[in-house]
Amino acid sequence: MTDFINNFFGPLNKDSCFYFLIVTIIFFVVLVLVLFSEMMYIFSVLFYGKKFDFTIFNKGIMVTFNIFVVYFVNRLLYTMCSRSLA
């Protein structure tokens, strides 16, 4: 019974920190793409005369902030994982 508990609930090795690194990289790429999309919306409003819609802009800011938080949390978890198992 102890082996069962250790296998499923015991501490993991340092290789499992790789998960947080992969998720951090993925969300950084998503963050860059969302920031690029927001910049394109702002440029289209400024230079092409597209009507400014505050709800679209507000939603974009909220999405950007949420993705940044997910990126930061996973980066923090990766740092904690890799340094605690060093």
Domain residue spans of the chain: 17-84
The model's pTM is 0.81
- Other Cβ atoms less than 10 A from the Cβ of 14: the count is 11
- Which pLDDT tens digit goes with each residue over 26-65? 999 999 999 999 999 999 999 988 888 889 889 999 999 9
| pLDDT reported for residue 86 | 64
Those residues with Cβ within 8 angstroms of residue 45's Cβ, 6 or more apart along the chain or in another chain: 51, 52
Residue whose structure tokens are 């340092």: 14
With 70 as the cut, is the pLDDT of residue 84 above it? yes
Q: pLDDT at position 25, please?
A: 97
